[in-house]
Amino acid sequence: MYPPISSSALKQRAELSNWKRETLCDWLLESCALHGDRLALQDEAHRVTYSQLASKITANAGYFAALGISKDARVTIRLRNRVEFFISFFALIRIGAIPVLALPAHSVNEVSGVIQDSSSVAYIGHYADEPTEQLILDWLDKSEQIQNIFLDCMPAKPLTKTAVHTLLPQPEQCFEEILKCCEYSEPEEVAFILLSGGTTGRSKLIPRTHSDYIYNIEMMSAHCHLDETVRYLAALPVAHNFALGCPGVLGVLANGGAAYLGDANNILSLITIVESNSITHTALVPSLADMFVESKKLAVSEFSSLRQIQVGGAYFAPDKAKSVIDELQCELQQVFGMSEGLLCCSKKGDSLEQIIHSQGSPASPEDKVRIVSSSLQDVLPGEVGELITKGPYTIHGYLFNEQANHKDFTADGWFITGDLAKRRADGCIQIMGRAKEQINRFGEKFSPADVEDVLLEGNKIIHSCLVAVPCTEQGEKTVLFVVKQSELDESKVRARLHEHNLPAYKLPDEIKLINQLPLTPIGKTDKHQLIKLYEE
């Protein structure tokens, strides 16, 4: 299955000196052959070496093929950070089938939408005796589309219609004959599908090809200096681009290191993994990075083995960035990334000021980035505009979504990211928020971070999130949601804002104290949820 991309763009990609023409699975198996008995992956239940990983992938590829899964068949995977994720992912890719990566936090609405939009014929998931999982299984059982369901353990209640199988058949059978008859995919074809991170409406399907993703991983591996000594903690869901391939677990596996699969919802278990396995690298969203810093301050952990922490996925205030470096005593790499492709990051040789105050520069010299006005004219250097991009690993269109392709891409193929940014005099990119989240108060436009950052300064950190909510009298009003802490009330928050002489239009119309900020499935602050909360 080919992604929406022109033949001239394909040709340009193929001319790049470091463009590999192989499938993701062949590329991984080469590394497995090279690193044989070294530890590849570890989760709370399993440890697998590179050789074991290779043989499990091959056995499962045959198993899937024997059950009728063939080239171009879409299969939705919704697994937690476990070894099974990688075995299933590569086994499907091995037979040219296309994994669609749902997140563990997705519930029946998201999962059913993704299965329908991608026309998935099978589902691979985690089973737990919980209402969320049961709702998904009930939906799958009724679906006309789903022919096979693979689960990590058998459900308590049998399904009525659809065949259910366990993952990882034991003992491993040999399906060599079946595998010989399989049709494989080409390097420029779609290898797997990521989901767009939007919190409103349905996720869009992001087709990543074998070659573009290998390029993506190899480039980020180089920026993170990965080698055999790396011990990486996957703290974020591996079904998300950041922990999967930026450079993520796949970068670690390509370089002979070991990846430890953790659970973002359990900070204590993440800290234990760091300490007991001498973790050297990890990738975090800002909220998790804050928790690491807090644990260090409270002396819960030493974190002395950490060499590099990547932080990305959402706005990371400079004060917070500085505290990662000061407290955790390791290299910080800021990453501005998106599942659609473009990655910008801090690089070796960047100054402390650049690392703290910017999101670095594009990962590939082939990335094209423009900062434009609403009429798509380039703005002057230093001015804020919308970031649009084109490049060897950035998609040219979503799958099966004409409407989004019309809206999110220019006629000449630039991807309109929806992010506001400015290019600094030193060339670094500074992300200024989402275009749609910018607040427009009677014509005065500003970023929510202008207010939120004020509350992060100084000794007494206050976590908050500013959103604009519809209001009948003035069109839109601002509400500052503040995370409760002892002895904090509205007047103290207002006093802090006044101390910083914020202009009147930036002061929130209302302040609401809440227990915690709601998060999206990947751990970013969920602003849509806050607006809903307010409206209720």
Q: Where along the sequence are the contacts to ligand OOB (CB under 6 A)?
A: 196-197, 241-242, 246, 312-315, 334-339, 343, 359, 417, 419, 431, 434, 522
Q: Is 391 exposed, middle or buried (0-12, 13-18, 19+ CB in 10 A)?
A: buried
Q: How far is the CB of 206 from ligand OOB (least distance, A)?
A: 8
**Tokens (6 digits) for 444:** 């005065």
Q: How far is the CB of 226 from ligand OOB (least distance, A)?
A: 15
Q: Which helix (H) or strand (E) holds 333?
A: strand 331-338
Q: How far is the CB of 352 from ligand OOB (least distance, A)?
A: 17
CA distance 420 to 373: 10
Amino acid residing at 290? D
- Residue 52 or 76 with smaller CB distance to ligand OOB: 76
Q: How far is the CB of 246 from ligand OOB (least distance, A)?
A: 4
Q: Is 150 exposed, middle or buried (0-12, 13-18, 19+ CB in 10 A)?
A: buried
Q: How far is the CB of 251 from ligand OOB (least distance, A)?
A: 12
CA distance 52 to 43: 14
Strands (E) located in 74-198 = 74-78, 98-101, 122-125, 148-151, 163-166, 190-195
Peptide bond into 247 cis (omega under 30): yes
SS3 350: coil
Q: How far is the CB of 527 from ligand OOB (least distance, A)?
A: 11
List CB contacts of 426: < 8 A, sequence separation 6 or more: 354
**Tokens (6 digits) for 502:** 């914020």
CA distance 304 to 288: 18
- Residue 94 or 223 with smaller CB distance to ligand OOB: 223
- Residue 110 or 419 with smaller CB distance to ligand OOB: 419
- Residue 194 or 493 with smaller CB distance to ligand OOB: 194
- Residue 22 or 437 with smaller CB distance to ligand OOB: 437
Q: How far is the CB of 402 from ligand OOB (least distance, A)?
A: 21
Indicate left, alpha or beta for 475 from its phi (over 0: left) and psi (-120 to 50: alpha).
left
Q: How far is the CB of 413 from ligand OOB (least distance, A)?
A: 18
Q: How far is the CB of 434 from ligand OOB (least distance, A)?
A: 5
Q: How far is the CB of 365 from ligand OOB (least distance, A)?
A: 19
Residue number of the CB atom closest to ligand OOB = 337
- Residue 248 or 262 with smaller CB distance to ligand OOB: 248
- Residue 434 or 500 with smaller CB distance to ligand OOB: 434
- Residue 185 or 333 with smaller CB distance to ligand OOB: 333
- Residue 508 or 521 with smaller CB distance to ligand OOB: 521
Q: Which helix (H) or strand (E) holds 286?
A: helix 286-297
CA distance 278 to 260: 11
List CB contacts of 51: < 8 A, sequence separation 6 or more: 32, 36, 37
How distant, in Å, are the alpha carbons of 127, 142, 263, 344, 457 from that of 130? 8, 19, 18, 39, 41
Q: How far is the CB of 521 from ligand OOB (least distance, A)?
A: 9
**Tokens (6 digits) for 263:** 């659970």
Closest CA to 256 of 20, 54, 37: 37
Q: How far is the CB of 457 from ligand OOB (least distance, A)?
A: 19
In contact, 98 and 76? CB cutoff 8 Å: no
- Residue 104 or 197 with smaller CB distance to ligand OOB: 197
In contact, 295 and 317? CB cutoff 8 Å: no
CA distance 281 to 206: 27
- Residue 244 or 267 with smaller CB distance to ligand OOB: 244
Q: How far is the CB of 343 from ligand OOB (least distance, A)?
A: 6
CA distance 378 to 396: 21
- Residue 117 or 152 with smaller CB distance to ligand OOB: 117
How distant, in Å, are the alpha carbons of 1, 20, 74, 215 from that of 71? 9, 21, 9, 23
CA distance 343 to 511: 35
- Residue 39 or 451 with smaller CB distance to ligand OOB: 451
